[in-house]
Structure 1
């Protein structure tokens, strides 16, 4: 088979390039999208996706609004406490069932002993020619509603009571609250207050959502944008550019505003990332499935 060029239209072979071109023009095939709407702004909360009013940052550099992250932690703690209550309830139920099983086993031993004694007594009386006591025994009931069996009957209209349903055992819940972005353990005391330096007029009381240039570096005066890597200084919470960190701060490891001594742990890189269909700093491409064009 001969090789066809990209713009070959006179051939009887429907080439891959032609198929791809027609699919793009006709709306068939997977559509790959990449837009700025899929990437959150650097100063926006990772949960609410709005500019932070009271920003805090985790030791890993993920930015949250204090109200949003506190609400998340409280809801997770309430969920964990509910799971702990259910687990404790299951443990008490297991202990009660074990106690009932032990009592039933003791009763069974007593009944077997009494039956054995009665059988020995009736055998001795029969040997002596006395009346048999076995004739007075009453037969056991064959009803499925006797001896408490009515409470154990399956219900075919309730999913949890069907014969095929098996009761699942709850595992002891973990009391640790994890970060919704990084998945690492998160505590309120680990959150660090962040202080952004406004690049607009301080007397302007308008909302920050509509402003493109909201903050600046307090040292160099550079405007902070999504494409400008930033870092948080732990002692004061000031947000500076990575360029300021590399060229100014790391020379003497001194805070440029207060003059205090800094360490490597005091410089927290501010994480930038995506939301929605994107993942943080990893993959910023969306793929939309469309009808496939058949050759």
Structure 2
């Protein structure tokens, strides 16, 4: 893929300039007491939304403040058992599969199991979580843990569908100006997280690179969409023959605990994780450069 041929770039440059200059203005010394999370995130939200919408194909949608279900865990090794069955994330890029047969031709109970969204009523079509975003407006806070909880929800949805070979992504803010993108996937029955790249709001070149990565993430979603549509009948028969177990958390099950942010948290380094080991087993981060 040649980024220079991406016709969405000229307009994206305007949005990137907005992210850069707005961040600079809101962090000026005379406005130190006026900062808010909304100030930090709305221009980034616009850039992410444009990366999804710019082609006019409408299969990827970016939405904010989404409530995602969490899978249950029966492990007794968690340091503290907190009854948490869902988590709210700042932003979600989702892949809409319209009239996807394994979803629309199944009974309501199965459609509920196939969805990662915690909603009163099931969605009309299957919506796959593709990327989770989490922001923090303070320099001493990181959105890493909350983002990973959202990614766990998305990866469990992949497991229920039997498509564990597909990646999900996460984006979180740290130290005020930093943005890190993480990829997650099932490997040998456990969830593995990989750092993709780290960016900074203080560099226009870095923000341009972030946009190109968002576009690459969209192209991967398009490939996943094609694969799923081609195998929809096979998936339908597989789910009907072997219905997935309901492993989503409820209020009366042990679930992953909400992990509070450590004020000293920086992006995860090799061999370190804040996600409870009773939930998933992590190998050290492998750095992927794209």
TM-score, length basis structure 1: 0.16
With CA pairs under 8 Å and 6+ residues apart, which has the higher RCO, 1 or 2? 1
TM-score, length basis structure 2: 0.16
Structure having the higher strand fraction is 2
